[in-house]
A and B are shown apart, each in its own frame.
Chain A
Amino acid sequence: MAETMQFDLVSPERSLMSAQVKSVQIPGADGDMTAMPNHAPLITTLRPGVLKVETDKGIEEFVVTGGFAELGESLSVLAERAVPKADVDQAAYEAMVDEAHAAYKQTKETFKNEPGPVDDAAKLLADMVAVGTHIGLSPKQPSL
């Protein structure tokens, strides 16, 4: 039997999953990574993406919008918002993209001469749109 580790997925409102898992694919801010048992301790922030959890029973997927992951003896993912992939329909997805659009627009207005925050917001939006291609949905509005 393959080695397993404790995995917790919590959002501010509730705890979504707590189980022994074989591996977890995390959408890290600097790129995707797969955490397996005995991984070196690590803290990373998340970008919007799909979290893929592999357990003995199969693979479960969640859409997360941001947050961070702490990987030590066990893995805890603290997502800002996490939804099981099956629960994300077109309407929910569009709402998420619209939100990112609004945030982008607002940031652009507030920080007219600072590229930093605007780029961050643009990246967030692009990531959010990219989530759609992973789960087979396309947004109403194009990326930019």
Chain B
Amino acid sequence: MPNLKDLKNRIASVKSTRKITKAMQMVAAAKLRRAQDAAEMARPYTERFNAVMGALASSVGDSDSAPKLLSGTGKDDVHLLVVLTAERGLCGGFNANIAKLAKQKATELKAKGKTVKILTVGKKGRDAMKRDFGNLSVGHIDMSDVKRIGYADAQGIAKDILGRFDAGEFDVATIFYAKFVNVVSQTPTAQQVIPAAFDAPEQGTAEASTLYDYEPDEEAILADLLPRGVATQIFAALLENGASEQGARMSAMDNATRNAGEMIDKLTIEYNRSRQAVITNELIEIISGAEAL
């Protein structure tokens, strides 16, 4: 039987753990609201952007002079996987799920004989990828100083990727992040950013039938917009990721708080029982002592 002092200490330690997880849950809930708002605010831009790009891409689309960012390099030998994760852990399976998807893809590509390069954003992703694919890593972007995700951060990442593309380091780039569905579910998602894949507007809709004038010409606009499209997609992914991270952390911490509560209840019962056993024992000793006289 564990002694009373040990039990008491354990109860105290689980109680303080519960306090911490409870606090983390509340912080995550507050941050989640902010992250969701940020994602919400960014949506109109992304939507309009994709609509315009879709229209532009379908009109320039197949011509030979289409920019490489749109039409690709004509090969798909070298793949760059950009893994976007959080800087911090304690958020359930959030980081692990993204890393798992990326690893799956990497293994799949390698099996097909393609070259895989990995760029990680966020410390947790780097740690997870290092174990199996450390030799494939071509870089890491640290986000630990970033308090609030801004467009400038996304531009920084996009610049890095575009620089590598211009240098001919890879043919296809895919970003990995978790899409925010709701607080309890986040779906790890892979999205190809280079060559750009935009949903072309459906034929026959009012949007598609509008004939735009372009100033300057279509290709100049495309050349200007495509790099921006990469940044926009990464920005949207970062925001989704931010909301997902907080959501995942919130539910993970909620679980932890509940588990701690259950554990405290169990330990308290055990503590009370042992205390009673000790009292009974003492009584028996006293009584049998008195009877012996």
Contacts and interface: CB of A to CB of B under 8 A. Distances in A.
Q: Are both chains from one complex?
A: yes
Interface of A: 8, 10-15, 28-30, 40-45, 67-68, 70, 72, 76, 78, 80-81
19 contacts: A8-B44, A12-B45, A12-B46, A13-B41, A13-B151, A15-B45, A29-B224, A30-B215, A41-B210, A41-B211, A42-B214, A45-B221, A68-B52, A70-B48, A72-B212, A76-B48, A78-B52, A80-B151, A80-B228
A11 B214 contact: no
Contacts of A28: 215
Contacts of A45: 215-216, 220-221, 224-225
B180 interface: no
Nearest to A81: B151
Nearest to A99: B152
B275 to A, nearest CB: 59
A94 B272 CA distance: 69
B45 A41 contact: no
Contact of B224 (A12, A14, A41, A68): A68
Contacts, number: 75
Contacts of B235: 12
A81 B151 CA distance: 9
B45 A42 contact: no
Interface of A is mostly: strand
A43 B213 contact: yes
A44 B52 CA distance: 11
Interface residues of B, number: 28
B49 interface: yes
Given A68-B224, A76-B48, A12 B213 contact: no
Interface in B198-220: 210-216, 220
Contacts of B231: 12
Give the top 3 A-B pairs by smallest Cβ distance, nearest first.
A44-B215, A14-B41, A12-B151
A43 B52 contact: yes
Contacts of B38: 13
B56 interface: yes
A8 B231 CA distance: 21
Contact of A29 (B46, B48, B52, B215): B215
A136 B151 CA distance: 27
A76 B212 CA distance: 14
Select the residue from B45, B49, B235 with max chain A CB neighbours within 10 A.
B45
Contact of A72 (B45, B210, B214, B225): B210
Contacts of B42: 12-14
Contacts of A29: 215-216, 224
Given A42-B212, A45-B220, A80-B228, 20 more contacts: A10-B44, A10-B45, A10-B48, A11-B45, A12-B235, A13-B41, A13-B42, A14-B42, A15-B44, A41-B213, A43-B52, A43-B213, A43-B221, A44-B214, A45-B221, A67-B228, A68-B221, A68-B225, A72-B210, A72-B212
Contacts of B210: 41, 72
Contacts of A44: 214-216, 221
B83 to A, nearest CB: 22
Contact of B150 (A8, A13, A42): A13
Contacts of B41: 13-15
B257 interface: no
A32 B138 CA distance: 43
B232 interface: yes
B235 to A, nearest CB: 5
B212 A41 contact: yes
B212 A30 contact: no
B234 to A, nearest CB: 10
A78 B44 CA distance: 9
Select the residue from B56, B154, B214 with max chain A CB neighbours within 10 A.
B214
Contacts of B52: 43, 68, 70, 78
A12 B228 CA distance: 11
Nearest to B51: A70
